[in-house]
Amino acid sequence: GCPHGKLKGDCALCAGCLHGKIKRFCSQCNGCPHGKVRRECRICGGCPHGRVKASCAKCTPCPHGKVKRWCVKCRGCPHGRLKYNCAECQGCPHGAVRSRCLACKGCPHGKLKQQCTKCSGCPHGRLKAQCVGCTGCAHGKVKQRCAVCNGCPHGKLKQHCVLCGGCVHRRLKGDCSQCSACPHGRPRRRCTQCKAAKREPSRTADGSEAGGEACGSDHEKK
């Protein structure tokens, strides 16, 4: 039997779990810290408070709240950083993650590069993923798999866009082709020759904006 709130699955010679802990498929696993889980671990050293190792082999400890899986010759990450499936990857900055990276240069503070190859650095608060020839995004913007995309205004995103014009303030265009601007807080994706919606976005009971895929439908007029 497992203690109150505990779970053991396919485990052998597993010591009791502390409050809120789980061990599965464990062998010679040390206790996990509060709120952490270890799976399929073998001869993994103890993790400091707030850390976990999963499927590790000679992996160095991960920083607070981070996880390393299937790592090979990964060096320790500084505080707030994670390496995942990495091979000779440079350290990521605070709060950033690099996954399956190849020849990626360091990202500025708060940046992420994923599956990137020779991507130029992103300015503060930017992200480039699978990018080719993408120019810098404005503050708080993201470009992903973009080609010849204009900058989006504050808090906006363009995704998979090709030859998309600039977005109006607080608008979003995604997968767009000859799409007009969407109203405040409304996303439009994969649209073709959509007319601009006239209606303001509806709100939920808590005051947040409700979603609306068909924000540019012809029937959405006041």
For the chain, the domain total comes to 1
Give per-residue pLDDT as tens, 41-57. 333 344 433 333 443 33
Give the separation between CA 39 and CA 52, rounded to whole angstroms: 9
In a domain, residue 61? The reply is: no
Q: What is the pLDDT of residues 57-72, one digit of tens each?
A: 333 444 443 334 433 2
Residues 120-145 have a mean pLDDT of 38
Whether residue 202 lies inside any domain: the answer is yes
Note whether residue 185 is domain-resident: yes
**pTM greater than 0.85 (yes/no):** no
Confidence at 204, pLDDT banded by 50, 70, 90: very low
Q: What is the pLDDT of residue 5?
A: 33
In a domain, 154, yes or no: yes
Tell me if 122 is assigned to some domain.
no
> Which residues constitute the domain of residue 171?
132-222
